[in-house]
Chain A
Amino acid sequence: MAVMRVNPTRMELTRLKKRLKVARRGHKLLKDKRDELMKKFLDLVRKNKELREKVEDMLMKVHENFLIARAVMSSESLEGALMFPKQGISLDVSTQNIMSVDVPVLDYKMSSSEESDIYPYGFATTSGELDSAIGTLAEVLPAILELAQMEKSSQLLAQEIEKTRRRVNALEYVLIPQLTDTIKYITMKLEENERGNLTRLMKVKDMMLEEARKAAH
């Protein structure tokens, strides 16, 4: 039994009762928040896992093609071909609020809308594998950006869940028991005082009666 160090007075009792009410309410709210966060998080993380597996597969394909391209072409001409990209990408970041967690939402814009602009070189001096590597890479791009967004979101959500869970546990296992115990302690102490007072009064009454009887004799 963990009792706080307080004075067992009536005022303290009402104060603690109020605190207990607030704590219970907070506990319920936080618990709801945790459950909802968890639901969102599990959905997200499941999708995240699938997407990551997909992206990793696709990227491996890109690397394979690249490897062949590098083998076929000299490294100078390969580097030369990729030296000056035609396509630029800019990212627009907004935030979405999931249960008071700000998660990023990524929006990307390519600087050029021509699909062929991902190839920054002429086809004459480069190998076909390079084309397919870059082509696949351009296909992976939306997926990989979504992955970034998802992974960051799940990281942030995980943190928030951890924090919320700690708070819920602190309330549930520390603060609320402490408050109830202290309230019980004060009530008992007050009742004890009451009883003490009553017996004292009875005793005094007895003594007074005794004295009155003696005086009457």
Chain B
Amino acid sequence: MYKIGVIGDKDSIMGFKAVGISTFPVSTPLEAQETLEKIADDEYAVVYITEQMAKDIVSTIEQYSERRFPAIIPIPGNAGSLGIGVQGVKKSVERAVGADILFKDE
């Protein structure tokens, strides 16, 4: 059985606990990176990470993109969306097609 985790600042992720997701409150990107590395090898299949934390540890997150698990998914924190999640989708389009064909009009 796999688990779901969420990494981010405490205020953004507190509520996830109520629905049964493990929360890992962190306050700095460095902490977020360490936590991510620690739980990635654990039984976490999905790790959500707030965009505020994700933006500073992009290289660490990318390491996991080739692996099947965990799926690391950026979500907006309580400070609003930074567009990193959409950027990620865009990036995979660019990677596959060679050009951005979905977000042209934006």
What is A's interface to B at a CB cutoff of 8 Å?
Answer: 37-38, 41-42, 45-46, 48-49, 52-53, 55-56, 59-60, 62-63, 66-67, 70, 78-79, 82, 85, 87-93, 95, 102, 104, 106, 108, 110-111, 118-120, 133-134, 137-138, 141, 144-145, 147-149, 151-152, 154-159, 161-162, 165
Contact = CB atoms under 8 A, between A and B. Distances in A.
For the complex of A and B, 7 pairs with smallest distance between CB atoms: A89-B20, A152-B71, A158-B92, A158-B96, A161-B96, A91-B2, A63-B78
Nearest to B88: A151
B77 A63 contact: yes
Residue picked from B12, B21, B102, most chain A C-beta under 10 Å: B21
Contacts of B20: 85, 87-89, 110-111
A62 B15 contact: yes
B18 A87 contact: yes
Contacts of A157: 92, 96
A159 B66 contact: yes
Nearest to A78: B14
Given A91-B2, A102-B68, A148-B71, 5 more contacts: A56-B85, A82-B18, A134-B18, A155-B88, A161-B95
Q: Give the interface SS of chain B, mostly helix, strand, loop or mixed.
A: mixed
B92 A106 contact: no
Interface of B: 1-4, 11-12, 14-21, 45-46, 48, 65-66, 68-69, 71, 73, 75-78, 80-81, 85-86, 88-89, 92-93, 95-98, 102-103
Nearest to A90: B1
A45 B2 contact: no
Contacts of B45: 91, 93, 104, 106
15 contacts: A37-B96, A45-B93, A56-B75, A66-B14, A82-B15, A82-B17, A87-B19, A91-B4, A93-B45, A104-B71, A110-B20, A111-B20, A134-B18, A154-B92, A157-B96
A145 B18 contact: no
Contact of B97 (A38, A85, A159): A38
B46 A91 contact: yes
Contacts of B97: 38, 42, 161
